[in-house]
Amino acid sequence: MSATMEAFDAVDLIRAKRDKGELTTAQIDWLIDAYTRGYVGDEQMAAMTMAIFLNGMSRNEVRALTMAMLASGERMSFTGLGKPTTDKHSSGGVGDKITLPLMPLVAVFGAAVPQLSGRGLGHTGGTLDKLESIPGWRANLSNEEMYAQLRDHGGVVCAAGSGLAPADGKLYSLRDITGTVEAIPLIASSIMSKKIAEGTSALVLDVKFGSGAFLKDIERSRELARTMVELGEDAGVATSALLTNMNVPLGFAIGNANEVRESVDVLAGGGPADVVELTVALAREMLNLAGITDVDVESALRDGRAMDKWRDVIRAQGGDPDAAMPVARDTHVVLADRDGVLVEQQALPFGIGAWRLGAGRARKQDPVQHAAGIDLHAKPGDTVRRGQPLFTLSANEPERFARALEAVDGAWRIGDVGEPVLDGGPLIAERISR
């Protein structure tokens, strides 16, 4: 389409949003379409995203933006499966490996779980990076392979195809390099355009708050949760959200291979109490939205059914559930310098520490070191003794230890017995639904 045939001028729309105006649905439709086909350039969309970051968007604008990104690509459908579909999305955190035990646990009860996941960037780990620690496992499936696996095994974790909301793929990459990742309208439309395109009939959102979350403040996280729930419900997807605490790392493992090992412990009926609590709560919520009630979720962890399902779906994607996981060549152990109680353990610095060890990537094209990461040996509230291991750093390149130690310096503290524990409160703060 030539320039003379364009319906709007990008500069006019940028000025309108810069001056706190409200864009119409027609303007937003044109903007996203024009950006997807390259008529609107990155520099113009960068200006628009910053204007949105600074001035926000109305509910109607956010809905229009979500639907425009959804319309930029294909939509999947699982209506022929003969079973309800239900999915979960997490806004990301430190040690958040919940998708791994959650997907097989929900699939045990007859639901289909189409879990389209992503890779890590910065301090938050990616589900696909974790699972690629398993020899042979592959993330990229065709739509036909994904459908067949849901039909035959009830669950799948894989990368989203390029045909789903391609406008979001372009826009996300731009946001990441322009300092606009935290804009709630952009987060909400990004997540929900992909999830609606995915074709699930029910969706549970795990929206984090606290030091290790993208949105630190619970009020901002609550606003994001409410916005996404409304978007899902408006699109005909049964949607709810749990606000969950990310002030402290989730579980004891932060990395890739070590988080897979911890997830397998949960599926075997063990694992850290906080990982089990959140896995079970999200499973109940997902099943409830899918219309599957009166089931004993915990029993599927105790009796091995969830573990059997895990092994099935890992094999279905080429992985060997019995293969040895990568182990780092070098470790560094940090010891307690006094007797007392661990009263503080901030999530964000430990996430950055694991990233500096090689567990994450600074750029999308960077590889991750699957064996790198941090294993915690105590959590806030635990009594510790002088000389006791507090956490272990693992890396294939020992020169990485110094910068990782710099990241966690001051992020943990041992106090006296009776001193208040700084953990930010309960793991699950509240449930949000329409």
Buried/exposed 43-82: b ≥16 CB within 10 Å, e otherwise = ebbbbbbbbbbeeebeeebbbbbbbbbbbbbeebebeeee
Are 394 and 246 contained in the same domain?
Answer: no
Are 200 and 223 contained in the same domain?
Answer: yes
pLDDT band at residue 364 using 50, 70 and 90 as cut-offs: low
Q: Which two tokens stand for residue 380?
A: 């806030």
Reply yes or no on whether the pLDDT at 365 is more than 90: no
Residue 252: predicted pLDDT? 98
Hey, which residues are catalytic here?
A: 89, 168, 175, 190, 194
Q: Which two tokens stand for residue 129?
A: 């990076």
The stretch 245-262 carries a mean pLDDT of 97
12-48 residue pLDDT tens: 999 999 999 999 999 999 999 999 999 999 999 999 9
Is 100 among the domain residues? yes
Residue 121: predicted pLDDT? 63
192-239 residue pLDDT tens: 999 999 999 999 999 999 999 988 999 999 999 999 999 999 999 999
- Name residue 112's beta-bridge partners: 85
Are 266 and 372 contained in the same domain?
Answer: no
Which segments of 253-292 are extended strands (E)?
Answer: 253-255
Reply yes or no on whether the pLDDT at 346 is more than 90: yes
Domain boundary among 322, 338, 370: 322
Residue 122: predicted pLDDT? 64
Higher pLDDT: 105 or 166? It is: 105
- CATH number of residue 317's parent domain: 3.40.1030.10
Is 25 among the domain residues? yes
Is 195 among the domain residues? yes
Reply yes or no on whether the pLDDT at 135 is more than 50: yes
Reply yes or no on whether the pLDDT at 2 is more than 60: no
Residue 1: predicted pLDDT? 43
Is 178 among the domain residues? yes
Are 358 and 227 contained in the same domain?
Answer: no
Higher pLDDT: 368 or 111? It is: 111
Residue 300: predicted pLDDT? 97
Are 25 and 141 contained in the same domain?
Answer: no
Residue 175: predicted pLDDT? 85
Are 42 and 122 contained in the same domain?
Answer: no
Total domains in the chain come to: 3
Is 66 among the domain residues? no
Reply yes or no on whether the pLDDT at 351 is more than 90: yes
Are 44 and 84 contained in the same domain?
Answer: no
* pLDDT cut 70: percent of the chain above it: 97
End-to-end CA distance of the chain: 41
Residue 219: predicted pLDDT? 95
Are 255 and 342 contained in the same domain?
Answer: no
> Could you give the 3-state DSSP secondary structure of residue 38?
coil
Are 336 and 305 contained in the same domain?
Answer: no
Q: Which two tokens stand for residue 205?
A: 């959102």
Are 235 and 311 contained in the same domain?
Answer: yes
Higher pLDDT: 160 or 53? It is: 53
Are 316 and 337 contained in the same domain?
Answer: no
d(CA 113, CA 200): 8
Torsion of CA 410, 363, 57, 90, to 10 degrees: -70
Is 73 among the domain residues? no
Which residue segment(s) compose the domain that 397 sits in?
A: 330-415
Is 7 among the domain residues? yes
Is 149 among the domain residues? yes
Q: Which two tokens stand for residue 364?
A: 């999308």
* pLDDT cut 90: percent of the chain above it: 82
Question: What does pLDDT average to over the chain?
Answer: 93
- CATH number of residue 44's parent domain: 1.20.970.10
Torsion of CA 216, 217, 223, 224, to 10 degrees: 10
- Name residue 88's beta-bridge partners: 204
Are 360 and 262 contained in the same domain?
Answer: no
Q: Which of 4-8, 317-321, 377-381, 420-424 has the lowest mean pLDDT?
A: 4-8
- CATH number of residue 363's parent domain: 3.90.1170.30
Reply yes or no on whether the pLDDT at 115 is more than 50: yes
Q: Which of 128-137, 164-173, 189-198 has the lowest mean pLDDT?
A: 164-173
d(CA 268, CA 41): 51
The stretch 165-169 carries a mean pLDDT of 87
